[in-house]
Amino acid sequence: MAVVIELQTDATFVILRVSDDGCGFVPTDVTTTSGIGLASMRERAAKLHGKWHIYSAPGQGTSVEVYLPLVPAIPMPSNSNLTNMEGA
């Protein structure tokens, strides 16, 4: 089985895509209690205000895409406010 992991960005999202050429499954048959992997991904995406999609079919492999919104960078404090940790 081959697994491909892709990470890309567009103007609004960071997109993580994990695909495999495994046996696949029917996504609507997956319940929230069927395992911790997909449930964990769903929870993490929601906590980060993202969304996710599963594309799969029996005999066709699976692709999971997670879209996480880009947020403005948090300004770093000026160097005068930082403690020098070199040599510590």
pLDDT of amino acid 12 = 92
Total number of residues shown for the chain: 88
Q: Tell whether domain 3-72 is in CATH 3.30.565.10.
A: yes
Per-residue pLDDT of the chain (88 residues; tens, 9 = 90+): 899 999 999 989 999 999 999 999 998 887 655 567 888 888 999 999 999 999 999 999 999 999 999 987 677 676 655 565 665 5
Residue 14 buriedness (CB in 10 A; 0-12 / 13-18 / 19+): middle
Domain ranges of the chain: 3-72
80: CB partners within 8 A, 6+ apart: none
